[in-house]
């Protein structure tokens, strides 16, 4: 009905739309001129400015630090909680916990950000690394729970009984039977928490101290002051990092056997 070429063209245009801005950022990071209206010559000067910019490096440090700490805490906390929730009997209690758990997911991040900030101010908690980490854990744990719970639900019937029946104590069962089988959910939850933390802006903006910053906040301040090719250089470096990470993670998937569900 619609010709194959038209479809291909449409897809191509979409992907060009998605990638063009990033490509421009990358290209102009090598421009000696500040504005993209003029092309000077190929230059790496913005990269050297970037790498010697202490503010950016500090921001990068905190971004990664907070991401690692908060995602590890969230994953452990969330997994234990998910296991507990899964064992609950259906009822008001379970529904309430799940609904409350959904609030940070459903709420726009500005509301979550502002509410946490209000909490910290109300209880006179000084803003800094601690409040930042708490905030990140608060919005990550729900995602971990939402990743792990389905895996728990999918566990074969009676699997725990079978393990106990064969002589395993409850803790042995947890270690050797349950956790290995929900590992994909735990990993997905961790990845989600990590990604959301690295990328977070709004919640961090409202809940950090003046000496603790992250990459997003830095970029925001720089962007508000106007165009700065340092940002372009940063974009390029981040993009390359992403490609490398994705290739490492998905490399084997790309060569996986074709699954049975072909197109219809």
Partner 1 sequence: MKKKGTIAHYPYIIWSILFIVVPIFLVLYFSIIDSNGNLTASNYTKLFNSLYMLVFLNSIKLALISTAICLILGYPVAYIISKSRSKTRNILMLFLVIPMWMNFLLRTYAWMSILGKNGIINTIITTLGFPAVDIMYTDAAVILGMIYNFLPFMIIPIYTVLIKIDKDVIKAAGDLGANKLTVFKRIILPLSIPGVMSGITMVFMPAVSTFVISQLLGGGQFMLIGNLIESEFTTVGDWYFGSALSILMMIIILLSMAVLTRFDKDDVKGGGRLW
Partner 2 sequence: MEKDILIELNNITKKYDDNTVLESLNLQVRRNEFITLLGPSGCGKTTTLNIIAGFETVDNGSIIFEDKVINEVPPYKRQINTVFQKYALFAHMNIYENVAFGLRIKKLPEKEIKKKVQSILKMVELDGFEKRSTDSLSGGQQQRVAIARALVNEPKLLLLDEPLGALDSKLRKEMQIELKNIQKQLGITFVFVTHDQEEALTMSDTIVVMNKGKIQQIGTPEDIYNEPKNRFVANFIGESNIIDGVMEEDFKVLFQEKAFECLDKGFNKDEKVEVVIRPEDIKITESGHGMLSGKITSVVFRGVHYEMKVQIANTEWVIHNTLHAQVGENIGINIFPNDIHIMRKASE
Name the binder of 42 from partner 1, partner 2, none, CB < 5-8 A by kind.
none
Nearest to 230 by CA among 222, 221, 240, 239: 222
Binding mask 142-181 for partner 1 (x = CB under 8 A): -x-xxx-xx--x------xx--x-----x--x--------
Q: Tell me if 188 contacts partner 1 by CB under 8 A.
A: yes
Indicate left, alpha or beta for 120 from its phi (over 0: left) and psi (-120 to 50: alpha): alpha
Q: Tell me if 10 contacts partner 1 by CB under 8 A.
A: yes
The helix (run of H) or strand (run of E) holding residue 72 is helix 54-87
Name the binder of 52 from partner 1, partner 2, none, CB < 5-8 A by kind.
none
Query: What's the distance, CA 143 to chain centroid?
Result: 10
Q: Tell me if 30 contacts partner 1 by CB under 8 A.
A: no
Cα–Cα distance, 259 to 257 (Å, whole number): 6
- Interactions with partner 2, residue window 166-205 (CB under 8 A): 166-169, 172, 177, 180-181
Contact 214, 204 (CB under 8 A): yes
Contact 244, 237 (CB under 8 A): no
The least CB distance from residue 173 to partner 2, in Å, is 8
Q: Tell me if 262 contacts partner 2 by CB under 8 A.
A: no
The least CB distance from residue 199 to partner 1, in Å, is 6
Beta bridge partners of 42: 31
The least CB distance from residue 226 to partner 1, in Å, is 9
Contact 230, 20 (CB under 8 A): no
Q: Tell me if 88 contacts partner 2 by CB under 8 A.
A: no
Q: Give residues in contact with partner 2 (CB under 8 A).
A: 156-159, 161-169, 172, 177, 180-181
């Amino acid at each position: 009905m619609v010709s194959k070429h038209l479809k291909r063209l449409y897809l191509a245009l979409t992907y060009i739309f998605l990638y063009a801005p990033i490509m421009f950022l990358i290209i102009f990071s090598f421009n000696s001129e500040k504005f993209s209206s003029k092309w000077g010559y190929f230059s790496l000067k913005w990269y050297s400015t970037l790498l010697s910019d202490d503010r950016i490096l500090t921001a990068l440090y905190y971004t990664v630090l907070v991401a690692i700490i908060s995602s590890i805490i969230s994953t452990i906390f969330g997994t234990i909680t998910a296991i507990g929730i899964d064992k609950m009997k259906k009822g008001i209690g379970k529904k309430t916990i799940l609904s409350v758990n959904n609030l940070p997911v459903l709420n726009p991040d500005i509301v979550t950000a502002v509410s946490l900030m209000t909490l910290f101010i109300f209880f006179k908690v000084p803003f800094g690394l601690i409040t930042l980490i708490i905030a990140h854990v608060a919005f990550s744990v729900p995602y971990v729970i939402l990743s792990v719970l389905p895996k728990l639900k999918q566990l074969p019937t009676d699997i725990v009984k079978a393990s106990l029946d064969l002589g395993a104590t409850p803790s042995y069962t947890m270690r050797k039977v349950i956790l290995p089988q929900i590992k994909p959910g735990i990993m997905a939850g961790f990845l989600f928490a990590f990604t959301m933390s690295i990328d977070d802006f709004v919640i961090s903006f409202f809940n950090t101290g003046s000496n603790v910053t992250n990459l997003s906040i830095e970029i925001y301040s720089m962007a508000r002051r106007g165009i700065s090719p340092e940002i372009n250089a940063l974009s390029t470096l981040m993009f390359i990092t992403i490609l490398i990470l994705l290739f490492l993670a998905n490399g084997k998937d790309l060569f996986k056997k074709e699954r049975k569900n072909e197109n219809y």
